[in-house]
A = this chain, B = another copy of it.
């Protein structure tokens, strides 16, 4: 079995599901867990309080008390409770599957770009995320009026297909300055700090510790000990720009207000304020500072130990390394 989750869902007034919260999603569950599910068929089904009691006992018998606690905790829920079982990692056909995969990413069970997320935009409805919980956007007006009449306010935090991570998962060992800027489905490695200016999309994130004050676009993965300065940009594949998926290696620094349209290897630096796009002509300098040759930045994609800067004297974009001209030439040729 690929994954399963027991979750609490919210319904719109027309009955459509708006979201599912899985307190403890299971990835590649072992035989005991699978047996406790009692041969539940793949797919999404609603479970009753009686089902939950049965599941709780089965989980307890299987020696997984934390799952038993979740099943018991869901008994008597205000909204529908769903059991989602995925035998394989196929395309997404149901909102409950989408939410389960987003949870798997944020629980660090799976790295970004390792899950089949085909169809996710189609199954996720656009939701108003309010102080009274998820709502269909069309229902907000009436609820806002009612709240006002009784002297209350309805706060609408966002209208989006994806909710904020922190309302569903609190990854261990992270700090997040502004939870409204991290989508559920973000993968934040242990030790990650995302400052208030940082942003992390779903299916994107960090492998381990790092200081993120910039934007990690969908599909982008940042290695350990790498920092993104304030407003630093990584080009994603969803909007504008590139078709290539970008990754950032370990111990990199993308300076404040800088950006990249290419992947970086390890120990790379882009100086503050410089945006390197894939087609930026870059003058490569060897360890002595002598010019080796000028290439499009995309030819440097994924290389390590590079320092990108714009020469303040002549505006030229330069890439400095700690290698000799001969090594550099070989490396660049090998890449052609």
| A→B interface (CB under 8 Å) | 8, 21, 23, 70, 73-79, 126, 128, 131-134, 137-138, 140-142, 144-146, 148-161, 164, 166-168, 170, 172, 174-181, 183, 196-197, 199, 211, 213, 215, 227, 229-231, 233, 235, 239-241, 253, 255-259, 261, 271-275, 277, 280-283, 294, 310-317
A-B contact pairs, 18 of them (CB 8 A): A73-B146, A77-B148, A78-B151, A79-B151, A126-B175, A134-B153, A144-B167, A154-B167, A156-B167, A157-B179, A158-B178, A159-B176, A160-B177, A178-B180, A211-B239, A259-B272, A312-B316, A315-B315
**Chain B positions within 8 Å of A256 at CB level:** 233, 235, 240-241, 259, 275
Copies in the complex: 3
Interchain residue pairs A-B with the least CB separation, the first 7: A315-B315, A273-B275, A78-B151, A156-B166, A312-B317, A281-B312, A233-B256
**Chain B positions within 8 Å of A176 at CB level:** 158-160
Contact status of A272 and B277, CB under 8 A, knowing A131-B155, A180-B180? yes
Quick one: which of B70, B167, B179, B240 contacts A255, CB cutoff 8 A? B240
Quick one: which of B148, B154, B183, B241 contacts A78, CB cutoff 8 A? B148
In Å, the complex CA distance between A90 and B258 comes to 39
**Chain B positions within 8 Å of A133 at CB level:** 151-153
Shortest distance from the beta carbon of A253 to any chain B beta carbon, whole Å: 6
In Å, the complex CA distance between A157 and B106 comes to 17
Quick one: which of B74, B138, B227, B274 contacts A149, CB cutoff 8 A? B74
